[in-house]
Every structure is written in structure tokens, then in C-alpha cells.
Amino acid sequence: MHWALPAIALALLGFAAVSGRLEGTPITAPIVFTTVGLFLGADALGLVEPDVSSEPVKLLAEATLAIVLFGDASRIDLQALRDEVSIPALLLGIGLPLTIVAGSATGLVLLGGSLTAPEVLLLAIVLAPTDAALGQAVVTLPRLPVRIRQGLNVESGLNDGICVPLFFIALALAQADAGALSGGEAARLVAEEIGYGVLGGVAAGALGAAVIVFAGRRKWIDEPWLQVVPATTAVLAYGLADGVGGSGFIAAFVGGAVFGALRRRHGGEVGYLLEELGGILSSVTFVVFGAIMLGAALGATTWQIALYAVLSLTVVRMLPVAIALVGTAARRPTVGFVGWFGPRGLASIVFAVIVIEEGGLAHEDVIVTTTVLTVALSILAHGLTAAPLAGRYADWFASHPKDGLPTLESSTPTRVRWRNPRIPAGPAEPD
């Protein structure tokens, strides 16, 4: 175990050395780090052997998701979402609920003999959030239509935050059904998780924004420290809520939204450190995922779990997306492209760790195994197809004459806010 830290550090250094050469290829960072994790795990070199419920794993998972949630929420532009019925609104407002319904129905058919109804719902919610990092070319290729890139990017940035309260509600229902909690205890737990989470997020977000606005206006903040403020605010939001029994994840998401709304026109770009920190923590999380979760899941997989994982990445995702885009004049290649690129990653991994940590479920092993296998398949399938399919879709879009471009795909959003501030925005510049 004492070799885990240098082994992970060497993996990060090795990827950094070739990251530029790998950009735009089918070999993505999650593929590399998950594979490295498999080699470092107990079934191979044995250099990374912590228990999945150990404190270091819990701390890593929670810190990673909190940072990512805060950063995603801080880029929410409510005015832009009000201005138009955009792809993100349709994917989040229609596609996400239908995905949870479809995942639950599929789970009842395939896993109903292994899971209770509340556990099936919990699994569907665990696997509902998407992760753009698994198919980075889909949101970074400048030749792709801006509206489509933004739609997938914003969906990925917001659906994990939306799913957090749903996850805790479903987890409490499953625990109550299993007898680990009474109905009253479950209701109180959910109320505390959400209520204290919201309060902690509002307080931290407002304080962080106040530092930027008031101290920044007076030029009291040294330029490098501007980048420290959002990262520190994310930690404060999580800590405040967690300290009083609330959800640190809800606090991080709410805190990011409050912080972003209050300081939007002040301080310039202050999210660079937050983005880089989130990226590093995510990379380490994928190493740990491969080292301590994937090997065990592969050994426990049944044909029902494998089929559920395949359907979760295809029909369960693609059919709701197709329904959500009805009436938008989206062409078939667009519907297929948006539907396929709903990869599952970081949020699902963290939710699985929380399921293990909280305990009380009779069939948590089935939930965790299904989640891990689905994420692993997504890392491979979406990683390998992102660059080639993004190129083919861009070629299809470019094949239209300028006066005959598809209406939906060629329109430019009034505002574009990317999950990563370095992503090239194409025809529309980020505000």
C-alpha cells in the first residue's frame, strides 16, 4: 500500500509526457488511467490495494465530485437557458427523467430477481449522469456544430448535480425498504441532506462571491489568488454542509451556482485552478477505480448484469434522447450522435462508493457490480468511438452547402459557456 502514491504519481507523469500526442485519438485519459489501475491492483502488481470503503478512497471520491459539481454549477447561465428552448434543456428536462424511468423498467425485467424495486430505482439514478470527459473529442472538435457540442457539454455538467438529491432520496427509500432505516428516519435523513446542503451551499457561495466582488473591485486580491477563491469556496461549501449532517455534494452544486451567479461579471476567468484540480483528481479516481473496483466486478458479473450494462449505454439512453428531440427538427445523424454520447463515469463511480459506505442494502454488491461494469464498458466504448464518430459527424455537417445547412445544427446559441474554459468555441466565443 505504501507504493500506491508513487505508482499513481508515475502514471500521471507518464500520461502527461504523451498527452499531446494522444489528443484527438481513440486513446483517452480515462482508458489509460483505468488500464493502469488494473495493472496496479491486487490482481496484478498489488501496488494499490486499499479497500473500496477505506477512508482514502472515500476522501478521494468525495473531493473529486465536490470540485467537479462546484465548477459545473458555477458556469450555469440561467439567462441563456431562459432565452431559448435549447438542447441542454430538453436533455435535462425530458431526456434525464425518461432515462431514469427506462433504466428502472430495464432493471425490473433483468434484475428484478436480485434487486428490490427501490434498489432498481437507485441503480437507474446512479447510472443516469453522463461524463463528457470519457469522450472529450465530442465537445472539443471545433468542426462540430456549436449547439450540439454545447448541448452535450452542458448536459454532462448539470445532470450529475440534478441527480445528487434524487440519489439520496432513492438511497433512503432503499434503506428503509431493507429495514436499515425506519420511514421516519429516512424522511429526516433526506430532509437534512437536502436542507443543510442547500443552506451550506448558499452561505459558502455567497461568501466566496463577496470576496471576488468586494475585494476584487478594490484590487486587494493578488492575481494568482483569484484562482484559489473558487476552489476554497467549494471546500467550504462541502465542509459546512457535511459538518451539520447535510449533503456536501448538494452544497457544492448549490454553492457553485450561487458563486457563479453573484460574481459573473467580476474577477474575469477564475476557474482555471478549479478545472485543473478537478481533472487531476478525476484521473486519480479512474486509477483507483481500475485498481480496486473493476477487477472484483468482472469476477462477479452475470449475463443479466452484462446485458443491463449494454442496454444502459444504448436503448436506455438513446430512446429517451430521441423522444426529447422530437419536434426540434434534429436530423437523424444528430439524434444518433447525441444519443450515443451519454458516457457514464465519475458521478456513477462516486455514487457506488457512497452506496458501499452507507451500507444497509441487502443487494449492494449487485448495484455496485452493475455500476462498475457499465462505467468500464462506457470508458472503452465511448473513448474508442469519440474521435472517429465526431469526425464523421463533422464531415456530414460540412457536406451541406452553406445555404442548405440543417436548421437546428447550424444555429448558434446566444451564449456559450464551456465546461473547460480552454475548449475552442468555434463560431461562437464563450462569454
pLDDT, tens digit, 9 for 90 and up, residues 360-414: 888 999 999 999 999 999 999 999 999 899 999 999 988 888 777 777 777 766 5
Q: Is residue 420 situated within a structural domain?
A: no
Percent of all residues in the chain with a pLDDT value above 70, rounded to a whole number = 91
What confidence tens digit (pLDDT) does each residue in 229-251 have? 999 999 999 999 999 989 999 99
What confidence tens digit (pLDDT) does each residue in 243-300 have? 998 999 999 999 999 998 888 777 677 888 888 898 899 999 999 999 888 988 988 9
What confidence tens digit (pLDDT) does each residue in 48-75 have? 766 666 778 888 888 999 999 998 888 8
Q: Would you say residue 429 has pLDDT above 60?
A: no
Q: Is residue 116 situated within a structural domain?
A: yes
One-letter amino acid for residue 301 of the chain: T
- Look at residue 82 in the predicted model and tell me its pLDDT: 54
Q: Is residue 136 situated within a structural domain?
A: yes
Q: Would you say residue 201 has pLDDT above 90?
A: yes
Range of the domain at 81: 29-404
pLDDT band at 1 (very low <50, low <70, confident <90, very high): low
Out of 26-35, 357-366, 408-417, the most confident range is 26-35
> How far is residue 162 CA from its own chain's centroid?
10
How does the average pLDDT of the chain come out, rounded?
86
- Look at residue 81 in the predicted model and tell me its pLDDT: 57
**HEC secondary structure over 169-227:** HHHHHHHHHHCCCCHHHHHHHHHHHHHHHHHHHHHHHHHHHHHHHHHHHCCCCCHHHHH
Q: Is residue 45 situated within a structural domain?
A: yes
Q: Is residue 346 situated within a structural domain?
A: yes
- Which H or E run includes 415? none
Average pLDDT over residues 201-228: 89
Of residues 359 and 121, more confidently modeled: 121
Of residues 26 and 308, more confidently modeled: 308
Q: Is residue 7 situated within a structural domain?
A: no
Give the single-character DSSP code of 423. S
- Look at residue 414 in the predicted model and tell me its pLDDT: 54
* Residues contacting residue 233 through CB under 8 Å, at least 6 positions apart: 70, 204, 205, 207, 208, 255, 259
Q: Is residue 2 situated within a structural domain?
A: no
Domains of the chain: total: 1
Q: Is residue 421 situated within a structural domain?
A: no
Using a cut of 0.85, tell me whether the model's pTM lies above it: yes
Output the domain CATH number for residue 195: 1.20.1530.20
